[in-house]
Homo-oligomer: A and B are copies of this chain.
Amino acid sequence: MGDTGPVAKLSDVAARAGVSVSAVSRVLSGDPSARLSEATRQRVRKAAEEVGYHPNFAGRALKLARTDVIALIVPDVTNSLFADLTRGVEDEAVARGCVMLLARSEDMHPGGAMFDRLVGEGRVDGIVLQPRDGTDPGELAQSVGERAPLVTIHQRLPGASSVVVPDALAARRATEHLIALGHRRIGFAGGLAGSPTAQRRAAGYAEALAAAGIARDAGLVTWRGYREPDGRASTAELLALPQRPTAIVAANVNAAVGVLAQARAQGLGVPGDLSVVAVHDAWTAAHTWPPLTCVKLPLYELGRTAAAALARVVDGGPVEHLSVEDPEPVLITRESTGAPRG
């Protein structure tokens, strides 16, 4: 095209259109209070088009004191569990004219270099944060919440907006599915005891059992964690029980993969000897053996909601605590669940 060397500035457009810089700025930014003739507007737009003008990010950010960048910080970017969430946040960001910056939360411990660069230097307008299990909520809230608008997901922090999904309902649906299949002894392979999502999911599991009149058995509930080896450990623990469970609710897909692995290692067929259902859904769930029955959480919508909430906070809105109720958690039946044997 007609690239004239470096990058076109406002003044280049102005010169080409034969008007002042401010006129160009007003036309291009669609300033409603601007009084400019339609003829001038046309000329300006044409000139901008011709020189390939794009507003300089730094200049604009400096003047406006906002970058239109939001950061999404999750424990592990490259985990397929976060795929839907990521898309949700990005789609909402784009819809609002923002750019999403993805960062790893391991780099984001308060006071860390990455943290300072992002919020301290004003590179982002705000942050959507999924805290890692085990981070101290208070400390985190203080260090970031005071310096940049913050929305947490899956977890409430004092002083910051938050968005959650119906974890308890999802776990309840998962458990009810097993009960409907005829299971009575159902184990729970949970996240870490300190994890809010794990607690809510455990609560939903307990609700379902209670509703079905099944007696509570503390031995059937484990708190190993959300990763694959944790799922294995949970399963080993559950299968060592004098009375084995005939089914397991895994608190997330990764843990469920571990459950499958351990069952296999102990020579148990799934779902013949053991049914497995996972809360959460992800790409990988369809590709395990057997494919995992899951209860899908509205994580895409969680992302969109969180980004929208952040936008409101950035604009000075009040702290909100939201829960994504639509769509509801939905059971996706694959091949890892069936009626108990015998």
Contact = CB atoms under 8 A, between A and B. Distances in A.
How many chain copies? 2
Contacts of A261: 287, 289
A193 interface: no
Main secondary structure of the interface of A (DSSP, over half): helix
A77 B77 contact: yes
Interface in A49-100: 54-59, 61-62, 65, 67, 69, 77-80, 82-83, 86, 90, 94, 99
Given A58-B67, A121-B54, A257-B287, A102 B99 contact: no
Interface string A127-147: 000000000000000000010
B104 A90 contact: yes
A210 interface: no
What is the interface residue range for chain A against chain B? 35 or more
Contact of A228 (B104, B116, B118, B287): B287
A80 B77 contact: no
Nearest to A143: B1
A181 interface: no
Interface of A: 3, 7, 54-59, 61-62, 65, 67, 69, 77-80, 82-83, 86, 90, 94, 99, 101-104, 107, 113-114, 116-118, 120-123, 146, 228, 257-258, 260-261, 264, 284, 287, 289
